[in-house]
Amino acid sequence: MDQPGQLSAAQRSRIRRLSQPKELTPDEEGGELNIVPFLDIVMNILIFVLATVAVTFTASIESTPPSLGGAGVRSDIKSEALNLTILIVNEGFSLKASGGNIATGCNGVGAGLAIPRSSGRYDYKALNECAQKLKGSNPEFADETQVTISPNPATPYSDIIAVIDAVRQTAQGEKLFDDVKFGVVR
C-alpha cells in the first residue's frame, strides 16, 4: 500500500502533464501586438520621402497682367513718355516707343528688328545697351521705369526672365526699367 504523503502513479502523471509548458494557439495568445515590422515600414517610407523631396526656391517678379479690351492708343493724348515695348519674336527683339519702331542697331526710328539674333541666340547685352541708349536719349525719359514685354506664345520662360533682367538695370547697377508689364502680341 501507499504510504501517507506519497502520490500514486496517476497523480504523478497528471502533475507531470500539467507542469509541461503548453503551446498557445493564436486565439489564446496574450494579446500582444508586434509593431516592429510596422515601424520598419514607416521608417523606410519616411527615409524615402525625405530623400526624394526636392527643395525649391521660388522668386517672384511683380508684374501687371495685360488689360482686357484695350482699344489701342488714344490720339488725343499728348505723351512725353518713352512707352517702351519689347516684342520677343523668333528672329530677335523688336522695340517700339511712342515715336514708332526702333530701327536695327537701335539707331533711331525705322523698320526692322532693333536687335536681331546673333549666332542663333538672343543678344541680351545689346538689348541692355539699347535700353540705356533709349532712356538717355531724352531728359524727359530719365524718370521712366515702365516697360512692356510682349513675348510670342512659344517663347521659353527663361528667355522672358533674361529680357526682364537685361532691361532692369545697367551693368554698373543703375536702374533702367524695373516696372515690368506684360502685353499680348496681336
**pLDDT, tens digit (0-9, with 9 covering 90-100), for 149-174:** 989 888 888 999 999 998 988 888 88
141, 82 Cβ separation under 8 angstroms: yes
Tell me which residue range forms the domain holding 134.
84-182
In a domain, 144, yes or no: yes
Q: What are the tens digits of pLDDT across the range 82-139?
A: 888 888 888 898 888 887 888 888 888 888 788 888 888 998 898 888 888 888 888 8
In a domain, 148, yes or no: yes
Give the 3-state secondary structure percentages of the chain, helix then strand then coil, rounded to 5.
35, 20, 50
In a domain, 156, yes or no: yes
In a domain, 62, yes or no: no
In a domain, 4, yes or no: no
φ, ψ of residue 10 to 5 degrees: the values are -65, -40
In a domain, 31, yes or no: no
DSSP output for 161-179? HHHHHHHHB-TTS-B---E
Neighbouring C-alpha atoms within 13 Å toward the C-beta of 126: 17
In a domain, 73, yes or no: no
Report CA 96 to chain centroid distance, whole Å: 30
Of residues 63 and 171, the one with the higher pLDDT is 171
Please count the structural domains in the chain. Answer: 1
Number of other CB atoms surrounding residue 152 within 10 Å: 11
180, 61 Cβ separation under 8 angstroms: yes
